[in-house]
């Protein structure tokens, strides 16, 4: 199946620092999604990207859909302690006019923020 490589695997940062993580794929997607998972909970969608080159922000979060359709990055600016969690990228290739299909997730980036 499709492979998504997400990096880094983990990050330990000080409060106030900016964070950057990315995902690369061996094949193209037409949707990129970024999720955050907190302990004991399921992932929650942060940002959805639907077009190559698209740059989208959600508060302190910014994500981009790579031009080649094989990569995406997520930036978090001015991190705070509640940013702690596991961040996942996910790619989706829609075919046949459908709106949902097989979703492939990255391995996750574990973020720790020290006050």
**Contact set with other proteins (CB under 8 A):** 1, 4, 6, 9, 33, 40-45, 48, 88, 90, 98-108
Please report how close the Cβ of residue 45 comes to other proteins at its closest, in angstroms: 4
Answer for the pair 93, 103: CB distance below 8 angstroms, yes or no.
no
Q: Which residue lies nearer to other proteins by CB, 62 or 104? A: 104
Q: Which residue lies nearer to other proteins by CB, 85 or 108? A: 108
Q: What percentage of the chain's residues is helix, strand, coil (to nearest 5)?
A: 5, 55, 45
Q: Which residue lies nearer to other proteins by CB, 67 or 74? A: 74
Per DSSP, what are the bridge partners of residue 55? 64
d(CA 46, CA 72): 14
Please report how close the Cβ of residue 14 comes to other proteins at its closest, in angstroms: 26
């Amino acid at each position: 199946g499709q492979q998504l490589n997400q990096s880094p695997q983990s990050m330990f940062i000080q409060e106030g620092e900016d964070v950057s993580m990315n995902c690369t794929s061996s094949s193209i997607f037409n949707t990129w999604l970024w999720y955050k998972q907190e302990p004991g909970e399921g992932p929650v969608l942060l940002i959805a990207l639907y077009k190559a080159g698209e740059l989208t922000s959600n508060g302190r979060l910014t994500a981009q859909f790579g031009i080649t359709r094989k990569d995406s990055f997520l930036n978090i600016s001015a991190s705070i302690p509640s940013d702690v969690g596991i961040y996942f990228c996910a790619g989706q290739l829609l075919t046949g006019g459908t709106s949902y299909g097989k979703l492939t997730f990255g391995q996750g980036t574990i973020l720790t923020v020290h006050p």
